[in-house]
Amino acid sequence: MLGSLTVSNIVSEARGLHDRILLESIPSESEHLRTVVDAMRENRCLSVCYKWYGKAESSQWTVEPYCIKLFRRRWYLLGRLEDGGFLTLSFDRVQEMAMTDRTFVLDKDFDAQSYFSNYYGIMQGGDEPKQRIVLRAFGNERYAMRDLPLHHSQKELTVGDDYVDFEVKLHPTSDFLAQILSRGRWLKVLEPEDIALKIRRMHLEAAEE
């Protein structure tokens, strides 16, 4: 957060260069962001009307706002339900949101960083267990992965003439697989075999006419 504020301050001070400083567009969702931050500060529950992709009807929940996360130009809310389960909701899919009079006590053992630490991005759950995945990066991708690791668990294993092998340990959720796919032929899954085959199948399906 401090790093983001520093960048924001630098850009604000350089208003005369606005046409020469190009930033990635991120929907501000300022109304929802303010509501969630206020609810987190006051430990008050949120009433949320939400529309999932592909669903005809909206869903309604009352959640305890545990944390917010920015990932791939989207703001997400991690909310805890009455049964103790968690929901991750994208701000841009929220139709209505309001603070309620109901208060909650934040679990003293909850740590937002730890909660997401075994995942690539925002997706959690699923059937895939946490596992060791070995990736081979070719060309400039090997340098990019050194500069911007995919995950905090990333380790460098082997350096070849035109490749570098890396290891990560996480749950291979759909957003992680999408990242691998996005690198095309520059990133290959070596282990485990089932994930390598899944990535191969997804590449072939994308190439079908």
d(CA 132, CA 137): 16
2 pLDDT above the threshold of 60? no
Please give the pLDDT value at position 124: 83
- Sorted by sequence, the CB contacts under 8 Å of residue 43 that are 6+ apart come out as 103, 104, 105, 106
Residue 142 in contact with residue 163, Cβ under 8 Å? yes
Give the pLDDT band of residue 105 (cuts 50, 70, 90): very high
Least confident of 5-9, 124-128, 205-209: 5-9
pTM of the predicted model, to two decimals? Answer: 0.83
Cα torsion 146, 123, 77, 26: sign: positive
User: What are the tokens at 63?
Assistant: 């959640």
Domains of the chain: 27-116 (2.30.30.520), 131-207 (3.30.70)
Q: pLDDT per residue over 35-93, tens digit each?
A: 999 999 999 999 999 998 888 888 999 999 999 998 888 899 999 998 888 999 999 89
User: What are the tokens at 194?
Assistant: 């089932």
12 pLDDT above the threshold of 90? no
